[in-house]
Structure 1
């Protein structure tokens, strides 16, 4: 007889709450239930209704895909759909993304999913790839439908990182970002391990350790030294996401907008018009 313990939904909820560093009191206040009732749910003495579970998952701000997983663990049907981006129902979403990309030209921009896979790019990004790589290889791979991942591209020691003037600084920032995202997107774990396997630059530090250092610049810019270009090309980025997504696909998407960090880069990018 198999006597292994199978965690009930309350235990899963408690684990998530601990990861979020929320007390029972804080979570109960967010949802509007008594702390006693929440304690009963976490210990398995009470089974939450589907509506209560959805409210708890919303208060815990879990990704929609993880909310579906926990709903199924509790014996309920998934609530959030995952609609293909090219479907008719997603046409307004796709048009909004394309509008953002086109409006940002000639500055580079790209649409990424939660795992940093490339979904869409604009002409500025294609031009940047050609400039950095000196070839059409990346452009052709994208246009042929080959799956491309930004983290993989940046981790490739023979790829774009060779051109980064501030490689360690930028890759460490990406490393920290992935480390923060893994609890919400477990599929990123192999890429986090790839960052850890890179070897530790002298200034690398644990995410838990603070050190005294000079104040940072307002934004971190990726600085590239490109053969044939007299000056460095420097870009900083901003992200755009959907404010109230109710679909897993829409919730997974973010637009990364790259902006020239200096006048020389700005002038260079204008020639891509």
Structure 2
């Protein structure tokens, strides 16, 4: 994804973000140390906001970094935040840190995705789960949502697919609401439209035969004749100053039962 200029002025864009966040002009003004009158003038184009004001409003509206650049461009200012590629020299330290983190988490699965769930890095634990998937799903660029929910992907192996699929789709809907990303919306429509794979006995959905008392919703997946259970956590970078870095997410999968722990530890012996 790239940041592009827009013919729409900054005022309507800011109004759109404010309305999406369900804030009144007065509420936004109080948060941004401004006045409702000034916010109104900005939104209607009667006043051109300063670069500082745009960034302050964007901060209080929780506007994603990529869209902050769009706001600045719409107001006639230069973008504030760079958008690097991960192979650039300036991100070498970041790449090394990510690689060390993923390697240190092994044999537990872990991966890094961008804002549209394209996999930018993964460890051997993820490779273990993807073993045996068809070539068309493993051809770069890999997409974590496609791999998980495609009927030829991991979906047929996930015992509690209905619950896990619902969790992933809800996660994507929340992100679409925050970021208003058209590419993310297109991905959501694609994966939400995948048919549920046939389960045992030709059933369209699979029920987990051993739900168990978990502390968080697990993904229960068949692997090599056994059932592995994982709960996931997602981490992002604090105070990023680069669009690419702001959109990275590190997802780690923690074993949810003793059997999964024992099996994964046996892989390192």
Query: What TM-score do the two structures reach when normalised by structure 1?
Result: 0.83
Distance 2:81 2:186 in 1: 26
Distance 1:107 1:193 in 2: 30
Would you say 1:172 and 2:169 are equivalent positions?
A: no
SS, match of residue 225 in structure 1: strand
Match of 1:266 in 2: 261
CA contact (8 A) 2:146 2:153 kept: no
Structure 1 residue 57: Cα displacement: 1.3
For residues 125-165 of structure 1, give each alpha carbon's deviation from its aligned partner in whole angstroms, at most 9, with x where no partner exists. Answer: 222323xx3x79599x47xxx20001111231122100010
CA contact (8 A) 2:176 2:185 kept: yes
CA contact (8 A) 1:221 1:235 kept: yes
Would you say 1:246 and 2:226 are equivalent positions?
A: no
Query: What does 1:14-29 align with in structure 2 at a 5 Å threshold?
Result: 14-29=15-30
Distance 1:153 1:84 in 2: 23
Distance 1:147 1:88 in 2: 21
Match of 2:144 in 1: 150
Segments of 4+ in structure 1 off by > 2 A? 127-130, 135-139, 194-200
For residues 173-218 of structure 1, give each alpha carbon's deviation from its aligned partner in whole angstroms, at most 9, with x where no partner exists. Answer: 1111111111303311112212442469xxxxxxxxxxxxxxx953
Structure 1 residue 7: Cα displacement: 4.2
Query: What TM-score do the two structures reach when normalised by structure 2?
Result: 0.84
Would you say 1:115 and 2:116 are equivalent positions?
A: yes
Distance 1:158 1:11 in 2: 43
Given the superposition, is the C-alpha separation of residues 196 and 138 from structure 1 closer, same or farther in structure 2, using an over 3 Å criterion?
closer
Match of 1:207 in 2: none
- Structure 2 unaligned spans of 5+: 1-6, 197-212
Alignment RMSD (CA, Å) = 2.2
Distance 1:199 1:28 in 2: 47
Would you say 1:59 and 2:60 are equivalent positions?
A: yes
Query: What does 1:54-203 align with in structure 2 at a 5 Å threshold?
Result: 54-130=55-131, 133=132, 141=138, 146-183=140-177, 184=179, 185-198=181-194
For residues 80-131 of structure 1, give each alpha carbon's deviation from its aligned partner in whole angstroms, at most 9, with x where no partner exists. Answer: 101121222112221221222122111110001010000001122222323x
Structure 1 residue 21: Cα displacement: 1.4
CA contact (8 A) 1:124 1:272 kept: no
Distance 1:125 1:119 in 2: 12
